[in-house]
């Protein structure tokens, strides 16, 4: 059996913990765990613990802590990904893959050319996808998900490095930066930002970056941008 890994907030982690609801169903009915079997619990704040199944009850499973197995400081490179509101399956893809690539914060937003202007109470779904991707990718730090912002709110975000993707931008490899480690990258909607929005981004110290000679889908651009930024800053 592969490693079984669950997320719990640090405030809920103690010597004995009770697993209920969907995680209980997964452990008992899907994985059919029995007394003594091992479960890894991470707190999303840099720690992971080994627990053993103490008891399986009709509505909950009791786990007993064995030891702290991993602990790491938060990485110095902080990537905030701002993505436009769009169809659900595309956002799901961005959240999953960008979490695997190490994004620290997600900020959904709407702009002039967004066909969707509201999240329609999808935040719970998004949080679940981020949590599951963090579990799967063995990350110890859980990315943050902020509330949906307007384009004007995106303009006012603060960071040492502020980037936005555009077909008319500069190649990322050609840009030189100091060794700051806080990066915001904003991915435009289908059809790109409007000319006035591009002007406003530049006025607010955002630099346009070009990702490919080909026209990329929004979700492809978002994931590719995160991968390129991570590589550029980690390669030294």
DSSP the chain: -PPPEEE--GGG-SSEEEE-HHHHHIIIIIS---TT-EEEEE-SBSEEEEEEEEEE-SS-EEEEEEEEEEE-PPPS-EEEEEEE---HHHHHHHHHHHHHTT--EEEEEE-TT-S----TT-HHHHHHHHHHHHHHTT-SBPPEEPPPEEHHHHHT---SEEEEEEEEEEEGGG----S--EEEEE---TT---HHHHHHHHHTT-EEEE--SSPPPHHHHHHHHHHHHHHHHH--
CATH superfamily name and code, 78-234: SPOUT methyltransferase, trefoil knot domain (3.40.1280.10)
The CA R_g of the chain, rounded to the nearest whole Å, is: 20
CATH architecture type of domain 5-71: Beta Barrel (2.40)
| pLDDT, tens digit, 9 for 90 and up, residues 69-102 | 999 998 888 999 999 999 899 999 999 999 999 9
Does residue 137 carry a pLDDT above 90? yes
Every domain range in the chain assigned CATH 3.40.1280.10: 78-234
**Residue 235: its pLDDT value, please?**
57
| pLDDT, tens digit, 9 for 90 and up, residues 12-63 | 999 999 988 878 788 887 888 889 999 999 999 999 999 999 988 888 899 9
Every domain range in the chain assigned CATH 2.40.240.20: 5-71
**Residue 32: its pLDDT value, please?**
86
Nearest 10 degrees: Cα torsion 194, 200, 205, 207: 10
Q: Are 97 and 179 in contact (CB under 8 A)?
A: no
**Residue 1: its pLDDT value, please?**
55
Span of 25-39, 67-81, 101-115, 138-152 with lowest mean pLDDT: 25-39
pLDDT: which is higher, 190 or 83: 83
**Residue 178: its pLDDT value, please?**
64
Does residue 176 carry a pLDDT above 90? no
**Residue 126: its pLDDT value, please?**
95
């Amino acid at each position: 059996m592969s490693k079984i890994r669950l997320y719990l907030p640090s405030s809920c982690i103690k010597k004995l913990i009770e697993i209920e609801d969907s995680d209980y169903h997964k452990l008992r009915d899907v994985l059919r765990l029995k007394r003594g079997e091992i479960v890894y619990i991470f707190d999303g704040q840099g720690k992971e613990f080994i627990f053993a199944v103490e008891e399986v009850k009709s509505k909950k499973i009791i786990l007993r802590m064995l030891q702290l197995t991993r602990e790491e400081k938060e990485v110095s490179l902080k990537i905030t990904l701002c993505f436009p509101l769009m169809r659900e399956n595309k956002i799901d893809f961005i959240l999953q893959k960008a979490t695997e690539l190490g994004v620290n914060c997600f900020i959904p937003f709407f702009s002039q050319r967004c066909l969707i202007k509201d999240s329609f109470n999808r935040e719970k779904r998004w949080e679940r996808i981020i949590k599951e991707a963090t579990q799967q990718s063995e990350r110890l730090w859980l990315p943050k998900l902020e509330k949906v912002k307007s384009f004007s709110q995106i303009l006012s975000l603060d960071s040492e490095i502020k980037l936005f993707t555009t077909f008319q931008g500069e190649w990322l490899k050609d840009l030189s930066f100091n060794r700051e480690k806080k990066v915001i990258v904003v991915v435009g909607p289908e059809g790109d930002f409007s000319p006035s929005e591009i002007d406003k981004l530049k006025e607010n110290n955002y630099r346009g970056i070009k990702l490919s000679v080909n026209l990329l889908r929004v979700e492809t651009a978002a994931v590719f941008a995160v991968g390129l930024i991570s590589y550029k800053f980690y390669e030294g």
